[in-house]
């Protein structure tokens, strides 16, 4: 079986960076204590390793976060050509609604809606509600697919 991961990378703003640092430090008191916990737990608690990596990256001035959202072969079925193009279009253009997106892509509304729903269900886009409209917004600045 092929191991596939889809990772999302999103840029932090200054407030998000400070909030995240403070949350991790509040939980563990210091980076050294977190390192000790990671050392004792080894690989049995990967969320501790993730938190340590995040705090170390932030302390070095990194301005992005990376989150793995999928580990299965099924991941690739989510990333069809039309869905990738749809996400690329959202990233580069203003979209006012799903209907607007369908019109701009010259695609049937139902097909675009179905693609948006799959992408939303898999954490690749969010839907911002504005009045009766739902505006598709990317959840990440970069999407990384690793084999």
**Residues 116 and 136 placed together within one structural domain of the fold:** yes
Cα distance between the two ends of the chain: 11
pTM, two decimal places: 0.61
Q: Which among 70, 93, 111 is the end of a domain?
A: 70
**Residue 51 in tokens:** 């938190």
121 falls within a domain: yes
The boundaries of the domain holding residue 112 are 79-140
Where residue 95 sits, what CATH number does that domain have? Answer: 1.10.10.10
CA 9, 15, 16, 21 torsion: positive or negative? positive
User: Domain boundary residue among 44, 70, 96?
Assistant: 70
Confidence of residue 14 (pLDDT cuts 50, 70, 90): confident
Q: Clarify whether residues 99 and 129 are in a common domain.
A: yes
Q: Which of 17, 51, 70 is the last residue of a domain?
A: 70
Given a cut of 80, whether residue 8 has pLDDT beyond it is no
Say if residue 84 is in the same domain as residue 65: no
**Overall number of domains in the chain:** 2
User: Which pair of tokens denotes residue 24?
Assistant: 């991790």
Residue 137 banded pLDDT, cuts 50, 70, 90: very high
The stretch 110-138 carries a mean pLDDT of 92
Which of 14 and 4 is assigned the larger pLDDT? Answer: 14
């Amino acid at each position: 079986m092929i191991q596939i991961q889809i990772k999302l990378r999103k840029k932090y703003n200054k407030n998000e960076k400070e909030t995240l640092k403070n949350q991790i430090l509040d939980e563990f008191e210091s980076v050294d204590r977190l390192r000790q916990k990671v050392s004792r737990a080894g690989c049995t608690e990967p969320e501790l390793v993730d938190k340590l990596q995040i705090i170390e990256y932030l302390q070095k001035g990194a301005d992005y976060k990376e989150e793995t959202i999928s580990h299965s072969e099924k991941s690739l079925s989510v990333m069809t050509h039309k869905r990738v193009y749809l996400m690329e279009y959202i990233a580069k253009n203003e979209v006012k609604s799903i209907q607007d997106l369908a019109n701009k892509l010259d695609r049937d509304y139902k097909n675009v809606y179905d693609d948006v729903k799959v992408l939303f269900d898999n954490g690749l886009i969010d839907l911002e509600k504005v009045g009766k409209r739902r505006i598709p917004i990317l959840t990440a600045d970069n999407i990384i697919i690793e084999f």
